[in-house]
Amino acid sequence: MHEYRISNKEEIEELQKEFKSNFLQTTYWAEFKNWDTHYLVFEDNSKVYGYCVLLIEKKYFFKLAYVPRGPILNDYSKILDSKFKSAISSIEDFAKTQHVSLLKIEPDHSDINHQDGNHPDGNINYSDIFKGYIKVNDFIQPVQTAVLDVGDRDFMIKNISSKYRGRIRNKFNLELKTIDDIDKFFKVYSDTANIKHFKQRNIEYFKNMKFYFKDHIKIFGVYYNNILIAASFNILWQDTLTYLYSGSDKKYNNMYPGYFLVFESSLSMKNNGIKITDLWGVSDDNTKWQGFSEFKKNIGGRVIDFPGSFDLPLNKLYYSIYKLIKR
């Protein structure tokens, strides 16, 4: 019998700080998503070694249970196949009690904040842990990301290829400012989305995220002669600044405001204790992502590979329908 229990928001808020979770495994994200939320705590002889935020979305007669970037385990447990497997099995047991049709788990990468190149989860046997699951390309969170190691200016410049270092030198007297007005950010973001034809969020999405994450949301803008020419919408959580959404005015592309934006905003948050700027999704295979993937690598981002997206069909009829819809 796997040891787990149903928990509450208050306990999870303590654990998400203690275990240094990804922002997707926080009560803030759960409330923002507004799905049916369940908090599970994993124990070994009554000692807590991990937790997860599990979200359930109801669609017609079916339920999708989803664990984004989880479960979260303590430093010792996350490198042990036995503890990891026990946590996954506990999630399965609970999902079955909720009559879930499909369980989707996208595990975290436990090395994201390590700068020494060692990968404590490198020996985890995911195929054994996720026995019975289907590893799919239908991922919700990106399976690759690029991260900047944040230090002083000289340290960060050294991590940029010499070919691109000139793009973060401020030859045009650009100015970085924090922005409180979401409308200003959204105008730049929306214009960029329309020009580049990528799927965009509506403004309510950003306002709701700001409402639930409060001071953890950081919006930066790049100004040229008091004109906003680039902006980014970020989440500050633990020691990581996550660069989620951005846009720039194409008339000023020759100034490389995106490079200045990422570099200077990362430096500006160093005093807030950040060690990593997560530049979010990149892809070596998706040609539609080629432009911003190259940008994130050019500025010094090192690529992190996540284990992937794992589906456990608990209702075969639903899973057949689900795959048809996702084609």
Q: What is the DSSP string of 64-105?
A: EEEEET--EE-TTGGG-HHHHHHHHHHHHHHHHHTT-SEEEE
Question: What is the rounded average pLDDT of the residues 48-66?
Answer: 92
Buried b / exposed e along 259-296 (16+ C-beta atoms within 10 A): bbbbbbbbbbbbeeebbbbbbbbbbeeeeebeebbebb
Whether residues 186 and 74 fall in one domain: no
| DSSP letter, residue 240 | E
Whether residues 273 and 150 fall in one domain: yes
For residue 251, the model assigns a pLDDT of 95
Count structural domains, the chain: 2
- Which residue would you say has higher pLDDT here, 202 or 287? 202
As given in the structure block, the two tokens for residue 245 are 């959404």
Residue 71's beta-bridge partner residues?
none
Whether residues 313 and 258 fall in one domain: no
Whether residues 137 and 104 fall in one domain: yes
Whether residues 299 and 312 fall in one domain: no
For residue 320, the model assigns a pLDDT of 76
Residues 75 and 77: their CA atoms lie apart, in Å, by: 6
Residues 187 and 319: their CA atoms lie apart, in Å, by: 39
* Amino acid at the residue 324: L
Give the whole-number percent of the chain exceeding pLDDT 70: 93
Checking if the pLDDT of 109 tops 80, the result is no
| pLDDT tens readout for residues 148-199 | 999 999 999 999 989 999 999 999 999 999 999 999 999 999 999 888 878 8
- Which residue would you say has higher pLDDT here, 263 or 318? 263
Whether residues 38 and 136 fall in one domain: yes
Q: In this structure, how many other beta carbons lie within 10 angstroms of the beta carbon of residue 316? A: 9
> Judging by DSSP bridges, how do beta strands 134-136 and 309-313 pair with one another?
antiparallel
Report DSSP letters for 159-196, one per residue. TS-TTTGGGGS-TT--EEEE---HHHHHHHHHHHHHHH
Give the whole-number percent of the chain exceeding pLDDT 90: 73
In three-state secondary structure terms, 47 is strand
pLDDT confidence of 122, banded at 50, 70, 90? Answer: low
As given in the structure block, the two tokens for residue 298 are 């050019």
Enter the pTM of the model. 0.90
Domain hosting residue 168, numbered range: 146-305
Whether residues 299 and 157 fall in one domain: yes
Residues 289 and 292: their CA atoms lie apart, in Å, by: 6
As given in the structure block, the two tokens for residue 105 are 């788990």
Contact, 37 vs 54, CB < 8 A?
A: yes
Please report how the helices 203-213 and 182-196 are oriented relative to each other, as an axis angle in degrees rounded to 10. 140
* Average per-residue pLDDT for the chain: 90
Residues 46 and 3: their CA atoms lie apart, in Å, by: 8
Whether residues 81 and 171 fall in one domain: no
Whether residues 268 and 299 fall in one domain: yes
| Chain centroid, CA 286 distance in Å | 18
Buried b / exposed e along 151-177 (16+ C-beta atoms within 10 A): beeeebeeebeeebbebbeeebebebe
For residue 188, the model assigns a pLDDT of 96
In three-state secondary structure terms, 229 is strand
For residue 115, the model assigns a pLDDT of 39
| pLDDT tens readout for residues 262-305 | 999 999 999 889 999 999 988 888 777 788 889 999 999 999 98
Whether residues 284 and 318 fall in one domain: no
For residue 315, the model assigns a pLDDT of 83
Looking up residue 223, the CATH number of its domain turns out to be 3.40.630.30
Whether residues 150 and 298 fall in one domain: yes
Whether residues 320 and 254 fall in one domain: no
For residue 233, the model assigns a pLDDT of 98
Residues 192 and 269: their CA atoms lie apart, in Å, by: 25
As given in the structure block, the two tokens for residue 187 are 């105008």
